[in-house]
Amino acid sequence: MSQPGHLLAFLPSPSQGVWNLGFFPVRGYALAIIAGIFAAIIIGNRRYVARGGQAGVITDLAIWAVPFGIVGGRLYHVLTSWGTYFGPNGEPSRAIKVWEGGLGIWGAVLFGSVGVWIGARRKGLILPPIADAVAPGLAVAQAIGRWGNWFNQELFGRPTTLPWGLEIDAEFRPNGYTDFATFHPTFLYECLWCLAAAAIVVWADRRFRLGHGRVFALYIAIYCLGRGAIESLRIDASPELLGLRWNVWVAVFVGIAALLYVVLVGRLKPGREESMSRREVEGEFADE
């Protein structure tokens, strides 16, 4: 156990995560999420056009994806942290305070995908090439968004004396860890892993001309591999099943499903889609 005041951290936590501009609070967490969203849209737009899609489509679909993703991410977080909000000492009113932190990536991706699907159907577009176009951008968005945890001094890992340990202020240290000063910067680990995942899927897409949703599934599989390992380092409260954190189990099952999708669809539908249009794919265009 490290002694109080004995700081080895090379990574200091920010002195504050909120800046007040008059009556308007600017939160570092929100800025990280917003920056990630913009990065995902920019990267997704470029990739979608490069794959033969129309410019601006990804921006239009983001109008559906972002609110759905935020609602889904928050819902997943609240459901898996039920006691924090609705337990004996919980504060139910905090359940809607997204700006305080707490967006579960699993719920965000699931609900965000539903939003994209709705928007795509309204435009007469098929979902797989859209998902493949945005996959690397989503990984980059996650990498940027994780810095919101740094601003909030949350979701860090076990105590460590490694030179890249993260200094956490005493008020943010959970019970049982108040005498420790430096912790694994799991936000940074996940940031770097997501950037690596983005690079890998871009390379694989170019090398093997992936299509039919395989780029997106590969991104999910790679992310789950890293998330499972990183999750095992975290010490924040989490429901457990058979001695493992719930999110580890989710990462295992979702990762396996995504990998199976990559393999099976690759055998059934090699290459990329010939059209982005749902009507053309379904053979609904009448000859003129």
pLDDT (tens digit per residue) in 251-277? 999 999 999 999 999 999 998 998 777
Q: CA dihedral defined by 32, 38, 43, 48, rounded to 10 degrees?
A: 140
| Beta-bridge mates of residue 157 | 234
Instruction: Quote the mean pLDDT of the chain.
Output: 90
pLDDT tens string 102-131: 888 999 999 999 999 999 999 999 999 999
Domain annotation covers residue 255: yes
> Above 90 in pLDDT, residue 96?
no
Domain annotation covers residue 14: no
Q: Give the integer Cα–Cα distance in Å for 143 and 136.
A: 11
Q: Give the integer Cα–Cα distance in Å for 270 and 132.
A: 14
pLDDT tens string 125-183: 999 999 999 999 999 999 999 999 999 999 999 999 999 999 999 999 999 999 999 99
Which has more confidence, 84 or 74? 74
Domain annotation covers residue 7: no
> Above 70 in pLDDT, residue 282?
no
User: What's residue 85's pLDDT?
Assistant: 86
Domain count, the chain: 1
Domain annotation covers residue 5: no
Domain annotation covers residue 157: yes
> Above 90 in pLDDT, residue 7?
no
Domain annotation covers residue 265: yes
Domain annotation covers residue 233: yes
Domain annotation covers residue 19: no
pTM assigned to the model:
0.90
Share above pLDDT 70 across residues of the chain, in percent, rounded to a whole number: 93
User: What's residue 2's pLDDT?
Assistant: 44
User: What's residue 285's pLDDT?
Assistant: 44
Q: Is 209 helix (H, G, I), strand (E, B) or coil?
A: coil
Domain span including residue 66: 26-274
The stretches of the chain forming alpha helices (DSSP H) are 28-50, 57-80, 82-86, 105-123, 127-145, 147-152, 186-208, 214-231, 246-268, 278-281
User: What's residue 74's pLDDT?
Assistant: 92
- Once rounded to an integer, what is the mean pLDDT over residues 36-54? 96
